[in-house]
Amino acid sequence: MDTPGSGTLYIVSTPIGNLEDMTMRGVRILGEVSLIAAEDTRHTAILLKQYAIKTHMQAYHDHNKEKVTPLLIRRLSGGDSLAVVSDAGTPGISDPAFYLVREAVRHDIRVIPVPGPSAALACLVVSGLPTDRFVFEGFLPVKKGRRTRLESLKEEQRTIIIYESPHRILRTLTDLREILGDRQVCVGREITKKFEEMIRGSLSWAIDCLSRDRVRGEFVITLQGSVKEKRKTP
Ligand code: SAM
Residue 196 lies inside a defined structural domain of this protein: yes
> How confident is the model at residue 223, as a pLDDT?
98
Contact of 97 with 197, CB cutoff 8 Å: no
Q: Which of 82, 114, 146 is the last residue of a domain?
A: 114
Tell me the HSE value of 16 on the side-chain side, using a 13 A CA sphere. 23
Q: Which residues of 47-78 are buried (b: 16+ CB within 10 A; e: fewer)?
A: bbeeeebeeebbebbeeebeebbeebbebbee
Contact of 189 with 159, CB cutoff 8 Å: no
Domain assignment of residue 125, given as a range: 119-223
Q: What is the pTM of this model?
A: 0.94
Is the CB of residue 164 below 6 angstroms from any atom belonging to ligand 1? yes
Assess whether 125 and 104 both reside in one domain.
Answer: no
Residue 233 lies inside a defined structural domain of this protein: no
Our mutation pick for probing the ligand 1 site, out of 136, 162, 220, counting the most ligand atoms within 8 A of Cβ, is 220
Q: Which of 114, 129, 147 is the last residue of a domain?
A: 114
Residue 231 lies inside a defined structural domain of this protein: no
For residue 32, what is the domain's CATH number? 3.40.1010.10
For residue 143, what is the domain's CATH number? 3.30.950.10
Segments of the chain scoring below 70 in pLDDT: 1-6, 229-234
Distance in angstroms (rounded) separating the CA atoms of residues 206 and 190: 15
Assess whether 155 and 107 both reside in one domain.
Answer: no
Our mutation pick for probing the ligand 1 site, out of 12, 94, 136, 172, counting the most ligand atoms within 8 A of Cβ, is 94
Assess whether 139 and 80 both reside in one domain.
Answer: no
Total domains in the chain come to 2
CA of 46 to the centre of ligand 1 (A): 18
Is the CB of residue 12 below 6 angstroms from any atom belonging to ligand 1? no
Residue 172 lies inside a defined structural domain of this protein: yes
CA of 205 to the centre of ligand 1 (A): 22
Q: Which residues of 120-134 are buried (b: 16+ CB within 10 A; e: fewer)?
A: bbbbbebbebeeeeb
